[in-house]
Amino acid sequence: MVYGFCDSALPGIKDWDDFKTCWESAKVHFSNTTVVGEYNVTLAERYSIFVLVLDDNITEINALQEEVPLTFSADIIPEGSTPEYGYLPWEISVSLPFSAEICPKFIFSNLAVNFTLQGEQRRPPNAINLKFSISGCGRQTQRISNFTFKGLGYSGLELAFLTLTDSNLLAIEHVSADNTSGLDALNFIEIDVIKSSLSYFGDVTGNIGMSYGLSQYGSRAVASSFVVVDPDEFVANFRWRSPNDFNTYQFSWYGGYPQESGNNSTGFVHIDRSTVEYIRDLDLGSVNVSACTFRPWISKKNPVFSREHARTIPKDPPGIQIYNMEMGLKSRNMLTKGMAASCSQGD
């Protein structure tokens, strides 16, 4: 292990056994309280991002079902610890094989990870969010299959430049001492989500890539479902956002139109044959949508229906926004206020 990242032997992780070893090393790293430097920070606070680097020459890793899920408990990070760069979360990142010329083919199968809380209790309010991320170099050649993720109350998930298939995700936001959430429950950057079930409470974002040389069309969801869950069913004493922040719950999906960039992918559909359940606001920017359903989370637990939230509605009512981002956020070609929407082929 080298502080800040882990690989089994240069140049990177080669198999499932290596991956497990590095996962355990991540736990050792984040629990390290050795003080370094003139600013009296621990090694974990200085190196708040831990990267598991996969060997660029491997084509697959298959997790053994009897050896998953891999777990990471909130109490591994000492209470009161803060990354030296305070604007960053803690992060465990998986870097898939990479080539500057042609993105190598790779598939990771049957991975399962659980980010758990102490006794399923909420994290202390002053705790810093932890992000788990997996980054590839192209959805056409790199795939995560049969992935199971559980982040219960303090871990968000970010996936970038890959394809996710036949997977089950459960992500519940962590709300900090100021009653706000610093991370999306789910954040997707230039990925394809195919035949997967995604359960969440918090914010969801599908976004375009901002990396030089890689695509900037946005993420796609195909034959998949996004379902809002009651966080109290998974996290005891769950901390809700303050009433003043109820109006920030948002499901956002942003893209671009490849045909406008001279690309032949005229049939690029960002949300296709999928179901989206959202808490409050729905924001769709520069996306093609086909044969889908959008619906609000109709539950007495939805804070949108609370008396406290009702006081904010005259100022900022729940809304659905559909627009072309190239026109600028202040020049939206369509603005619809309401709590429900549906779309179908040809709409």
Higher confidence at residue 220 or residue 88?
Answer: 220
Q: Quick one: pLDDT at residue 241?
A: 83
Calpha distance 234→278 (Å, rounded): 18
- Give me the mean pLDDT over the 151-161 stretch: 90
Question: Strand pairing partners for 188?
Answer: 159, 206
3-state class (DSSP) for residue 12: coil
For the record, the structure tokens of 45 come out as: 């606070």
Higher confidence at residue 218 or residue 11?
Answer: 218
For residue 258, pLDDT beyond 70: no
Q: Quick one: pLDDT at residue 342?
A: 37
What pLDDT, in 10s, does the model give residues 1-37? Answer: 566 556 544 668 999 999 999 999 999 999 988 888 7
Higher confidence at residue 191 or residue 331?
Answer: 191
Q: Quick one: pLDDT at residue 2?
A: 61
Q: Quick one: pLDDT at residue 202?
A: 94
Calpha distance 102→214 (Å, rounded): 11
What pLDDT, in 10s, does the model give residues 97-109? Answer: 999 889 999 999 9
Q: Which among 161, 187, 182, 181 is positioned nearest to 254, based on CA atoms?
A: 187
Between 287-291, 298-302, 314-318, the lowest mean confidence (pLDDT) is in 314-318
Q: Quick one: pLDDT at residue 245?
A: 67
Q: What is the DSSP letter of 255?
A: B
Calpha distance 252→281 (Å, rounded): 8
Higher confidence at residue 310 or residue 175?
Answer: 175
Average pLDDT, whole number, for the chain? 83
Q: From the DSSP assignment, how many helices (H) and strands (E) are in the chain? A: 3, 30
Residue labelled with tokens 């009702």: 310
Please classify residue 143 by burial: count the beta carbons closer than 10 Å to its beta carbon, then call 0-12 exposed, 13-18 middle and 19+ buried.
buried
- C-alpha dihedral sign at 207, 208, 213, 215: positive
Between 128-137, 146-155, 169-178, the lowest mean confidence (pLDDT) is in 169-178
Q: 133: which residues sit within 8 A by CB, 6+ positions away?
A: 91, 92, 93, 94, 157, 158, 159, 160
Q: Quick one: pLDDT at residue 325?
A: 72
pLDDT band at 253 (very low <50, low <70, confident <90, very high): very high
Calpha distance 289→296 (Å, rounded): 17
Q: Quick one: pLDDT at residue 117?
A: 72
**How far, CA to CA in Å, does 177 sit from each of 76, 93, 213, 325?**
20, 25, 39, 34
Q: Quick one: pLDDT at residue 225?
A: 98
